[in-house]
Structure 1
Amino acid sequence: MKKVIMPIAAVLIIIQFFRPQKNISAQVQANAIERHYTVPQHVSTLLKTACYDCHSNNTSYPWYNNMQPIAWWLSSHVNEGKEELNFDEFNLYTVEKKKKKLHEIAKTVKEGEMPLSSYTLVHTNAKLSKPQQDEISEWASSLEKEIR
């Protein structure tokens, strides 16, 4: 049994020294959606609470992000989320991509697909009520029609 546990423990200790880069930005980005489009304050608050950890350049990390391999998994998840949609880089998108992303926001939030249940399991404040889902969805649909 020692021959199995000791190598596993050694690997778990060693990997603690290899940390992914954190996704932290202290300021509103130049291409952030709110710098170029109207985002009502209440919608902005909802987006920051339910979406921005994975879909912006600023993640609020939980305490367990200090443990490997969890930090690698979270980093991968955040990077995937930012590749799919990044509110801090929104104005870099083409008009067509902006419209597509806004349509996807409206649809996935209204259908309860976002935020992910694996995220809201730990971040209970990110759970969106039906009225909150509707508010985000209506805002995204309205902005999609507005963009030319």
Structure 2
Amino acid sequence: MKKVLVVILVAFIILQFFPIDKTNPAPTPGMDFLTIKKTPPETAEMIRTSCYDCHSNETAYPWYSNFAPASWFLKNHINEGRKHLNFSTFATYEPKRQLHKLEECIEMVGKKEMPLESYFVGHQDAKLTDEQRKLLIDYFKREKAETERKMSF
């Protein structure tokens, strides 16, 4: 039993020599969703708090991101989140893709699939009340309608 614990400890120590890259891409304010959509401050704060760590280039890495293998899981999760939706580069999306992403926001927030439950472990402030969810869904619906209106020209 003692040998097993020593092996696990040594393996854990060795894993720490393989840190993740925590460098965020350079900010591009002119392409950011909150900027281009002129999001109201209260709504913008909710989106920042509940979405931006995984779905933007403004990730604030928590303390546990310093320890492998948790850091690897976290980095993979962030990369996947940015791949599916990156609010920091929203302006680069074609209007049709913007519509699709807004539809996904409405669906994911409505079904309580986002933010992920696992995110709340270190981010209690990211939990959304039913009232906040409704506010976000209504906001995303308005932005979707506005995008559709602009596309019809």
Taking the aligned partners of 1:133 and 1:142, their CA distance within structure 2 comes to 14
One-letter code of the match for 2:56?
S
Question: Is 1:51 aligned to 2:56, yes or no?
Answer: no
Taking the aligned partners of 1:58 and 1:72, their CA distance within structure 2 comes to 18
Q: Percent same amino acid among aligned pairs?
A: 37
| Structure 1 pair 129–76 and aligned structure 2 pair: CA distance change class (3 A) | same
**Aligned to 1:17, what secondary structure does the other structure show?**
coil
TM-score (norm 1): 0.91
One-letter code of the match for 1:41?
P
Aligned to 1:73: 73
Taking the aligned partners of 1:12 and 1:61, their CA distance within structure 2 comes to 20
Question: Does the 8 Å contact 2:27/2:88 carry over to 1?
Answer: no
Aligned to 2:14: 14
| Per-residue deviation, residues 113-148 of structure 1 (Å, max 9, x unmatched) | 111111123311100011111111111111111112
Deviation at 1:106, TM superposition (A): 1.3
Aligned residues: 148
Question: Does the 8 Å contact 1:31/1:90 carry over to 2?
Answer: yes
Is there any run of 5+ residues in structure 1 with no aligned partner, and where?
none
Taking the aligned partners of 2:125 and 2:83, their CA distance within structure 1 comes to 24
Is there any run of 5+ residues in structure 2 with no aligned partner, and where?
none
Aligned to 2:124: 124
Q: How does 1:1-148 map to 2 (within 5 A)?
A: 1-24=1-24, 27-147=27-147, 148=151
Taking the aligned partners of 2:117 and 2:101, their CA distance within structure 1 comes to 20
